[in-house]
Amino acid sequence: MNVPLLRSSFDLIAERHPDVTRHFYEILFERYPALSPMFGRNSRAAQEKMLTQALVAVMDHLEDAAWFEETLGALGAKHVAYGVTDEMYGWVGECLLVALARAAGPAWTAEVEAEWTSAYGAIARAMLAGARGARAAA
């Protein structure tokens, strides 16, 4: 992963569109309306805040493979109880990349997109490993 590029693009997005997570959920629920009821435990604002904090944590730990495996694996395991399926990780990634691209505007180059696609892939793999482990243990 090109860590400096990911961090600089994230900083740009956060500066230009601090509400990018709100837009992410709008896109997600527009494209996949069946997911909306899964988010009823928390207010929309709380959910947006949790996602923002998770993205910031990922940016802070891009070079820490152990953190990815442990922290994101545990997060994936936790999401099993919420009814999250493997297929949904693709939907979330698709919508997150769209939201980030819209927020970045012309700064969303092919290189930035490739790096974010790679980064989301690493996030999803770690979470899926945790989810699969949780399902196997159940």
Token digits for 99?
A: 């939201």
User: Is 1.10.490.10 the CATH classification of the domain at 3-137?
Assistant: yes
What are 10-35's pLDDT values in tens digits?
Answer: 999 999 999 999 999 999 999 999 99
Considering only CA atoms, which of 105, 67, 69, 84 is closest in space to residue 28? 84
φ, ψ of residue 101 in degrees (nearest 5) = -65, -45
Q: Where are the domains of the chain?
A: 3-137
Calpha distance 80→29 (Å, rounded): 19
Predicted model pTM: 0.94
Instruction: Tell me the pLDDT band of 138, cut-offs 50, 70 and 90.
Output: confident
Calpha distance 106→114 (Å, rounded): 15
What are 78-126's pLDDT values in tens digits?
Answer: 999 999 999 999 999 999 999 999 999 999 999 999 999 999 999 999 9
What are 51-77's pLDDT values in tens digits?
Answer: 999 999 999 999 999 998 999 999 999
Neighbour-count burial of 130, counting CB atoms closer than 10 A to its CB (0-12 exposed, 13-18 middle, 19+ buried): buried
Instruction: Tell me the pLDDT band of 42, cut-offs 50, 70 and 90.
Output: confident
Q: What's residue 44's pLDDT? A: 86
